[in-house]
Amino acid sequence: MSNPVFVALDTPDLEQAITIAKSVRGHVGGLKLGLEFFCAHGHHGVHEIQKLDLPIFLDLKLHDIPNTVAKAMQAINMLEPAVVTVHASGGRAMMEDAKAAANEHTKVVGVTLLTSLDQNDMGKIGYQGTPHDQVERLADLAREAGLDGIVCSGNEVGAAHKIWKDGFFVVPGLRPKGGAMGDQKRAVTPQQARNNGASLLVIGRPITGAEDPNAAARAIEATL
């Protein structure tokens, strides 16, 4: 992938999503559509964004019983997404069925531990160990289930890469040096994530919330 940055078009406003995507398309490698956009616009919205002719990452974070996730995957296959997310904590059978139901050319990746969570949150949820432990445990499970890779923070991607040499590593929660964290708790810079072994970098607000999204995307591209 020449430019590993996928910009997260996190808005329920279709026109705004198209405007931002048009302004940054020369400086990103793809477009990520998540729950906010998909719940508002569904397949129609994805078709509109596809007109911009960049790969589409559908970040739907599917998490349910295996049969339901497999059927949901079948229902988005006609959109031919480049990447789709499921929650790795849905378990091995769910991930196996998700991968089996997906298009041959769609990468299915498992979210390990959301980048908005830290060690303190893990304790409250009832997860054992550190974020590294959780990411490595679920990376192993995702690999065994036949997924293409995982989603984790830039802090853990180096360790995950060591245990899964040919895995595909999606890293969100990225902030240029000094950038506002917002709800992200395990953030690193795009450059750090890339150096640590990220395959795909997800960047939302540092680009979409900038006064000049094109300049922000260009500045990030220049650091990679």
Residues at the binding site for substrate are 10, 32, 59-68, 115, 175, 184, 204-205
Of 177, 145, 184, 191, which is closest to residue 164 (Cα–Cα)? 145
Residue 115 binding ligand LLZGTKA7, by CB under 6 A: yes
Residue 172 binding ligand LLZGTKA7, by CB under 6 A: yes
Joined together, the tokens standing for residue 12 give: 């329920």
CA distance 224 to 219: 9
The length of the chain is 224
Of 129, 134, 165, which is closest to residue 149 (Cα–Cα)? 165
Residue 34 binding ligand LLZGTKA7, by CB under 6 A: yes
Residue 192 binding ligand LLZGTKA7, by CB under 6 A: no
Q: Give residues with Cβ within 8 angstroms of 132, minimum separation 6.
A: 155, 156, 159
Catalytic residue check, 177: no
| Cβ closest to ligand LLZGTKA7, residue 149 vs residue 204 | 204
Residue 139 binding ligand LLZGTKA7, by CB under 6 A: no
Residue 204 binding ligand LLZGTKA7, by CB under 6 A: yes
CB 45 within 8 A of CB 10: no
Among 73, 98, 111, 193, binds ligand LLZGTKA7 (CB under 6 A): 111
Catalytic residues: 61
